[in-house]
């Protein structure tokens, strides 16, 4: 495989606790007439992903049936029986990717406005900088509640600091983590086995993988999206309504 070969993991196991319908997985809520996860899987296919693995958990039969009917055999599934964080979700794909020597793109099933143009620029930057990991970021006027991107003098990423752990100086950083990543596969799973769930939620996070890389002196790149709206996710009915409004005004190319 060429140096730009990659597979895509779509995180789609979340419960969506704050949404209106407890029987509907969050990624199955419609935006512009289609479930959010449709746009994410479709984007991965248009980008030329070698394969697309959707990590499912809560009400997974609904997600799997819809994606099989829509995309056929082009989608594979990994099951996360317990939702123990983003790092744990990605770890469920390890056996499926054991013979793949390319890179791994991680997308969120509830972020449907990302464009092909942005992701191609993101993927190109990852390979051009020879990074072990690259994170898609955004700059916003009010970064409250988001993890901040702390950069080194050369522009690479030093760490991602969650707001509750940030210093007063770090809270003034306006560049935030979108939760979209591209990893070297070998180093990704090596790091995931080192990550601990020693946080308030007792979950395993992909941001901790970046911290592990940084401590080892490995290069982590970051690419800023031109439009923060592309990175919008959904946790509440209000956010879903806002995303629907943005979707209708965005040019999704």
Active site residues: 18
Q: List, in order, residues 6 or more apart from 12 with CB less than 8 Å away.
A: 25, 27, 37, 40, 54, 55, 56, 57, 63, 109, 110
Closest by Cα among 174, 13, 173 to 90: 13
| Helices within 28-178 (DSSP H only) | 36-46, 60-71, 86-91, 116-128, 168-171
Helix (H) or strand (E) run with residue 243 in it: helix 237-249
Q: List, in order, residues 6 or more apart from 128 with CB less than 8 Å away.
A: none
241 in helix, strand or coil?
A: helix
Residue 41 gets the label, from left (phi > 0), alpha (psi -120 to 50) or beta, of alpha
- Distance in angstroms (rounded) separating the CA atoms of residues 30 and 191: 35
């Amino acid at each position: 495989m060429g140096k730009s070969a990659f597979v895509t993991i779509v995180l789609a196991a979340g419960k969506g606790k704050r949404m209106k319908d407890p029987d509907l997985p969050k990624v199955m809520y419609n935006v512009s007439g289609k479930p959010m996860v449709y746009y994410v899987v479709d984007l991965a296919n248009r980008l030329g992903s070698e394969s697309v693995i959707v990590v499912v958990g809560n009400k997974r039969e609904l997600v799997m049936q819809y994606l099989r009917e829509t995309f056929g055999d082009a989608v594979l599934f990994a099951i996360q029986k317990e939702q123990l964080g983003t790092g744990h979700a990605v770890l469920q794909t390890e056996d499926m990717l054991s013979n793949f020597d390319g890179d791994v793109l991680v997308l969120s099933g509830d972020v449907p406005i990302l464009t092909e143009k942005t992701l191609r620029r993101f993927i190109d930057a990852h390979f051009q900088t020879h990074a072990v990991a690259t994170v898609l970021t955004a700059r916003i006027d009010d970064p409250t509640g988001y993890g901040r991107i702390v950069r080194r003098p050369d522009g690479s990423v030093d760490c991602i600091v969650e707001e509750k752990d940030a210093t007063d100086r770090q809270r003034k950083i306006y560049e935030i983590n979108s939760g979209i990543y591209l990893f070297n596969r070998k180093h990704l799973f090596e790091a995931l086995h080192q990550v601990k769930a020693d946080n308030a939620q007792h979950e395993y996070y992909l941001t901790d993988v970046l911290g592990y890389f940084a401590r080892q002196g490995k290069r982590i790149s970051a690419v800023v999206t031109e439009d923060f709206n592309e990175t919008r996710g959904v946790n509440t009915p209000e956010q879903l309504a806002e995303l629907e409004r943005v979707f209708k005004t965005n040019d999704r190319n």
